[in-house]
Amino acid sequence: MSKTDWIVVGGGSAGCVVAARLANPNGQRCGKVTIIEPPANTTRRVDRERPAKWLNLLGSDEDWNLATAENCQLANRTLRWPRGRGLGGSSRINAMIWFPPTRKDLQILVEASGGLWKISELQDDLDELTKLTRPEQPAWQSEAAERFLNAAKQFNAGVAWTYMRLNRAGRRWNPAELLTTAQASGSTASGSIEVQRSTVNRLICKGDQIIGVETCDDHGKNEIFANKGVIICAGAIATPAILMRSGIGPRDQLEKAGIEVRLESEQVGQGLQDHLIMPMIFQVRSGKFPSHTSVQDIVRWQTMGTGPLSSNLAECGGLFLEDSIQIHVTPTHYLSYPKPADLAFMTLGVNATQPQSTGMLQLQSSDPQVPLNIHPHYLQDAGDRNITIEGMQLARRLVKETDLSQWIVSETLPGEKRYTDQHLKKAISRYSQTLYHPSGTSRLGVTNSSVVTPDFQLKGFRKAWVVDASVLPRLTHGNPNATIMLLALKAANKLRSFVG
Ligand SMILES: Cc1cc2nc3c(=O)[nH]c(=O)nc-3n(C[C@H](O)[C@H](O)[C@H](O)COP(=O)(O)OP(=O)(O)OC[C@H]3O[C@@H](n4cnc5c(N)ncnc54)[C@H](O)[C@@H]3O)c2cc1C
């Protein structure tokens, strides 16, 4: 048994921002912040730094390697669901795209807060976050990205741009580095951060107060107690799992798993959302590609952090059809990269930005080693498929009706012969993939069913807060990491009022 001031459960995108901010509260004394993050292989590997190699991190020991149940709308396929493990969490293995919340995303957040938040305040928080994370403009771009951006300008059906990235001089960066900065700049004066390498099984409650957590590691079970509180940041899958194992969740699920109900909360583990991406793959004439790297490219990246190895593959994209569609551009064959290819490819990945389908997580057991059943219920709402089909038709027109047409050799997937809605529907069910954005499983809001209040408090409990992808009231229009870190910063700034 040990004691600390604050426990942060999970050192991922949100957890690192919360801990770094809490430990550095502008001179006030915050005490000791203990982040509990399961161990991962932290040996220095070059693939951890070269942006173009990020796909090699999936399936590695830095990935929880989750998978969904069979999806009936996806030809009964199960999808691999990578989730980052180790400090940095999913930011450790992600595609590094910095996509700040859109105006509509900010409005959704304001509505969810019941008007407690203001757009201008959220924008101030975003400015503060941007100063911490310092996203970069890339120094190198593939021909696919250059040509797509020109074509999108000609086509004029939306806005496309080069994505900024969470990089430092062309090398991967993730929010775990904020912890080092926080430790270096103020830990002795204001507080300290300690990282404990173990896994949280459940929360420890005393009445309506969360007083600590039960953890486990190679040495067995342990208990850690927090004087000031527990902040749960274990992500869209693990956060509701921890809540349910602690007796907070839908009664029928808890009872089935033999867990005593502490607080019946129907929406824990429900409301699951994700972006589903349909890759449209084109064979193109040769150009500059990150897949074809030479010794000079390696030297260029090592010495200057630029060249094809600095590409994050998803180099550019944008929002189309009144923001209902996002198109991502990669200079790869989306379904076979990083396997070497003789031919040159470009993929336009199309996804509905605001899917209406919602899935759920199902607890199978009180044993933390037993994974949850993940049911994303992709495309359960037929509108999601219809919008994706519209997006695919738009992508085809964009390719055909602009200068891109001169660079394309042929459409490999779905293939030009497949042009009816029925063909496209079939292609979506057979080839679409997760865009790695699960969220919404412990939503923040002001309704009776919300799990978390706009102050990030876990409803029904004192001294417990939740902030991570699980609290998102709606999936963001673009990639969610910046918005999740924005909420984490907001939560930490709020918690600072408890400091002292
Ligand atoms: C492959 C991939 C590519 C992506 N690309 C992008 C992108 O380019 N841009 C973008 O905006 N978004 C991207 N995302 C999404 C984005 O990275 C995530 O939405 C975001 O990181 C989620 O943050 P989080 O804090 O909610 O969870 P995470 O960052 O996943 O953090 C959760 C942490 O909790 C830990 N944890 C889990 N269980 C326990 C437990 N029982 N006890 C203690 N700790 C636990 C985990 O190990 C992890 O460190 C990508 C995600 C993936 C997986």
Give 67-122 pLDDT, tens digit per residue.
999 999 999 999 999 999 999 999 999 999 999 999 999 999 999 999 999 999 99
3-state secondary structure of 204: strand
- The residue extents of the domains of the chain are 1-133+173-274+438-500, 137-171+276-352+379-431
Atom index in ligand 1 nearest the CA of residue 82 equals 53
Whether 28 shows a pLDDT value over 70: the answer reads no
Q: Do the Cβ atoms of 439 and 274 come closer than 8 Å?
A: yes
Any ligand 1 atom below 6 A from CB of 9: yes
Q: Are 99 and 77 in contact (CB under 8 A)?
A: no
Whole-number Å distance between alpha carbons of 348 and 296: 28
- Does domain 1-133+173-274+438-500 match CATH 3.50.50.60? yes
Ramachandran sector of residue 86 (left: φ over 0; alpha: ψ -120 to 50; beta: rest): left
Find out whether the beta carbon of 11 lies less than 6 Å from any atom of ligand 1. yes
Name the band, by pLDDT with cuts 50, 70 and 90, for residue 289.
Answer: confident
CA distances from 269 to 37, 78, 441, 442 (A): 21, 19, 5, 6
Alpha carbons 443 and 445: distance in angstroms, whole number: 6
Which of 94, 130, 213 to probe ligand 1 with, by most ligand atoms within 8 A of CB?
94
pLDDT at position 464 over 50: yes
* pTM for this prediction: 0.97
What is the domain class of 137-171+276-352+379-431 according to CATH?
alpha beta
Quick one: CA dihedral 272, 247, 82, 7, positive or negative? positive
pLDDT tens per residue across span 394-453? 999 999 999 999 999 999 999 999 999 999 999 999 999 999 999 999 999 999 999 999
Strands (E), 207-275: 209-217, 220-232, 248-249, 263-264
Asked if pLDDT for residue 498 goes beyond 90, the answer is: no
**Ligand 1 atom having least distance to the Cα of 94:** 3
1-133+173-274+438-500 with 137-171+276-352+379-431: one CATH topology?
no
> Residues 193, 187: contact at Cβ < 8 Å?
yes
Mutate which of 35, 42, 66, 90 to test ligand 1's pocket (most atoms within 8 Å of Cβ)? 90
